[in-house]
Amino acid sequence: MVERPKENDHSKKLRVVGIETRETETLRLEWPIVDLNVGDVVELRILPEGDGDTPCEIQKSSESPDNLFSNTALAKEFIEVASEFEGRVSELVRKWKGIEQADEHKKVALAVGAVLAEIGQRLWYPVFRRHKELVPDSMKGELL
């Protein structure tokens, strides 16, 4: 239900969305939106595998337009370079722990962590979604 008087939106809708995480891919499943009225009863029943309504939309992470590198060799080279970068930066953060003051080290560690997380979201995962063969075993089953 939505109650947004400023937008003149007073809708009562049922939306069902599912997420399925596979070894190297995530599926987003969506069923048709149903308008509801006051007094309607909504029943949710878990059915055996295979029964039920087919989703009206399925989005696969492997088909995202944001996925990177059509060339597998370039993707592999990028992953190697990015892994080396991550390792070297992490090593420097550990080294600086005994040199920098605690509060300064914490700021640097947080900044580096934010950069590495962004590299994962913007670069690593878009490569892995397109090139499943490059996904390390430790990351299989993660949301990509």
The number of distinct structural domains making up the chain is 2
> Minimal CA–CA distance to 110: which of 130, 96, 98?
96
**Are 76 and 112 in a shared domain?**
yes
Range of the domain at 85: 72-139
Give pLDDT, residue 104: 93
**Are 103 and 125 in a shared domain?**
yes
Max avg pLDDT among 19-23, 89-93, 133-137: 89-93
Confidence at 139, pLDDT banded by 50, 70, 90: confident
**Are 57 and 77 in a shared domain?**
no
Average pLDDT score, the chain: 88
**Are 46 and 98 in a shared domain?**
no
pLDDT 10s digits, 62-119 = 788 788 888 999 999 999 999 999 999 999 999 999 899 999 999 999 999 999 999 9
For residue 12, being part of any structural domain is answered with yes
**Are 77 and 49 in a shared domain?**
no
